[in-house]
Amino acid sequence: MKYTPRLPETNDNVSPSSPLKELAVLAGGLLAIIVGIYLVLGVAVDLIVPRLSPGLERRLAKPFLSTVTDIDDAADSTQESVQAILDRLQKECAELPFPLQVHVKSSETINALAFPGGHIIIFQGLLDEVTSENELAFVLAHEMGHYANRDHLRGIGRALVFITVSTLTLGPDSPVAKVLGSALNLTEMRFSRAQENRADTFGLEALQCLYGHVGGSTDFFNKIPADQDPGRFGHYFASHPENRRRIAHLEELARSKGYPSEATLPFPSTD
Amino acid sequence: MIDLIIFLSLVALGYGVGTYVEKRHYRRIKAREQATLKLAITTTKHINYPVEDIQSVALVTGSAVISVDYFKRLLASLRNIFGGNVKSYESLIDRARREALLRMKEMAPQAHMIVNVRIETSTVGRKANKKGVGCLEALAYGTAVTLKGHA
């Protein structure tokens, strides 16, 4: 054997490639697939959600309740009086397939939340601002509207499938999955404008049914003056163009349906 | 949002600095390969020279540890989803092996040949036990043979 000192002319161990082009193609392809899945999910969720049984909904609800159970409950008498209004609404005006339960939490937050499974959380801060029973009934009826339309399930459905898919393909520690998770914040559960509108309509109809008039339905939105920080008061109050639009929508609806507006009943004081 | 910004900066840094460092390393590798071309390395186990002609033999080793930058890692994880050649790691392994062989040669510059050369590659670093690649280590070892006279 003879050794000829010579270097190879080409390096066949490294494929000629343009890394930036490869990144663009792969990342672009992945993004297109994710957007495609998102759109398909939107359609699928709209088809499946109306068919979900209330029993299944209650089972899905359990993990979400734990996020608020560490806040103390308010006094039993408060809880009972609010539950009484809710029960009257359910019995006389809005037959929902499962019973709703209200939990009053002693926190200063001025907000109310509808959780899956028929649990409504109302914060003491909101009750302190209420001056009439009609207002409170509207808030409760609005949340009931979200249940009647299965609104909360739509948001959860999409987020759950996304996080499942990303965990399966990328692994739980992937930074991409974390970005995805924070983008779809499950516990926030914001509703779309159309969903809020439908819930408002439901609330108005329920108010008309229970009291024979819709006085007090928009009182809530008008409570906080314009210069207050909107974020503090939750999705009810920000004197926010969104809420002005909702007030206008309610007033117009009452006008078109001919609902009268009369004096409101006072809400029993809670202190 | 801040996570995304950090992520993108790491990727850009990986691409910018990583590409520069890789090109510089390849230039040096080519220069050293040219310089040590006279020293033959081969994987054969046996030497065809009679025992009287051999002056000395020695074990020589060379190792190199090359780390993966964030850009290459991102490309590799995308490839892991779609499949195909992970081209971003190819240059990494190539550099590590060639560097290891060069260091092995430089350990015995006066030898005439290095026989029974083997190369071993492994991963080190914090992700060595999980699915990611932290650093790549290549080890080359062989027997350096020095002959009497100018053979």
Question: Is residue B24 very low, low, confident or very high in pLDDT (cuts 50, 70, 90)?
Answer: very high
Q: What is the mean predicted confidence (pLDDT) over A143-170?
A: 72
Interface check for B48 against chain A (CB to CB < 8 A): the answer is yes
- Segment A216-260, tens digit of pLDDT: 777 777 765 444 444 544 555 444 567 778 888 888 888 888 888
Question: Is residue A270 very low, low, confident or very high in pLDDT (cuts 50, 70, 90)?
Answer: very low
Indicate if the pLDDT at residue A66 is higher than 70: no
Q: Are residues B3 and A179, on separate chains, in Cβ contact within 8 Å?
A: yes
Of A14, A27, A182, nearest to B78 by CB-CB distance is A27
Between residues B44 and A178, the one the model is more confident about: B44
Between residues A130 and A159, the one the model is more confident about: A130
**Contacts with B88 from chain A: Cβ below 8 Å:** 19, 22
Mean pLDDT for chain A overall: 74
Between residues A40 and A268, the one the model is more confident about: A40
Residue with tokens 């914001």: A190
Taking any CB pair shorter than 8 Å as contact, residues of chain A touching chain B are: 1, 3, 5-7, 11, 13-15, 17, 19-20, 22-23, 26-27, 29-30, 169-171, 174-175, 178-179, 182
Indicate if the pLDDT at residue A269 is higher than 60: no
The residue of chain A nearest to residue B79, with distances taken between CA atoms, is: A26
- Check: complex ipTM more than 0.90: no
Tell me the C-alpha distance between B99 and B63, whole Å.
7
The residue of chain B nearest to residue A17, with distances taken between CA atoms, is: B87
Q: Which of A94-98, A156-160, B1-5 has the lowest mean pLDDT?
A: A156-160
Token reading at A98: 């499962």
Beta partners for A121?
Answer: A103, A113
Predicted local confidence at residue A271, as pLDDT: 42
CA–CA distances in Å: residue A167 to residues A14, A137, A186, B82:
32, 42, 16, 16
Q: Of A79-83, A191-195, A238-242, where does the model show the most confidence?
A: A79-83
Tell me what percent of the residues of chain A surpass a pLDDT of 70. Answer: 66
Q: Are residues A179 and B15, on separate chains, in Cβ contact within 8 Å?
A: no
Of A5, A14, A169, nearest to B94 by CB-CB distance is A14
**Contacts with A179 from chain B: Cβ below 8 Å:** 3-4, 7
Q: What is the mean predicted confidence (pLDDT) over A202-225?
A: 78
Of A3, A17, A175, nearest to B7 by CB-CB distance is A175
Residue of B6, B30, B75 for testing the chain A interface, max A β-carbons within 10 Å: B75
Q: What is the mean predicted confidence (pLDDT) over A166-193?
A: 59
Distance from CA of A203 to the nearest CA of B (A): 37
Between A151-170 and A175-183, two packed helices, what is the crossing angle to 10 degrees? 180
Predicted local confidence at residue A114, as pLDDT: 76
Report field, pTM of the whole predicted structure over 0.80 = no
Interface check for B71 against chain A (CB to CB < 8 A): the answer is yes
Q: CB under 8 Å to A49, separation ≥6 — which residues?
A: A150, A153, A154, A157
Tell me the C-alpha distance between A176 and A172, whole Å.
10
Q: Of A53-62, A79-88, A214-223, B91-100, where does the model show the most confidence?
A: B91-100
- Segment B46-67, tens digit of pLDDT: 888 888 999 999 999 999 999 8
In which region does residue A118 sit, left (phi positive, over 0), alpha (psi from -120 to 50) or beta (all else)? left
Tell me the C-alpha distance between B14 and B72, whole Å.
7
The answer to whether A89 and A102 are in contact (CB under 8 A) is no
Three-state secondary structure call for residue B54: strand
Question: Is residue A43 very low, low, confident or very high in pLDDT (cuts 50, 70, 90)?
Answer: confident
Q: What is the 3-state secondary structure (H, E, C) of chain A?
A: CCCCCCCCCCCCCCCCCCHHHHHHHHHHHHHHHHHHHHHHHHHHHHHHHHHCCHHHHHHHHHHHHCCCCCCCECCHHHHHHHHHHHHHHHHHHCCCCCCCEEEEECCCCCCEEEECCCEEEEEHHHHHHCCEHHHHHHHHHHHHHHHHCCHHHHHHHHHHHHHHHHHHHHCCCCHHHHHHHHHCCCCCCCCCHHHHHHHHHHHHHHHHHHHCCCCCCCCCCCCCCCCCCHHHHHHHHCCCHHHHHHHHHHHHHHHHHCCCCCCCCECCCCC
Predicted local confidence at residue B96, as pLDDT: 95
Of B37, B75, B81, nearest to A5 by CB-CB distance is B37
Question: Is residue A178 very low, low, confident or very high in pLDDT (cuts 50, 70, 90)?
Answer: low
Of A6, A15, A179, nearest to B87 by CB-CB distance is A15
Predicted local confidence at residue A60, as pLDDT: 62
Q: Which of A76-80, A143-147, A195-199 has the lowest mean pLDDT?
A: A76-80
Mean pLDDT for chain B overall: 89
Distance from CA of B91 to the nearest CA of A (A): 6
- Segment B92-127, tens digit of pLDDT: 999 999 999 999 999 999 999 999 999 999 988 765
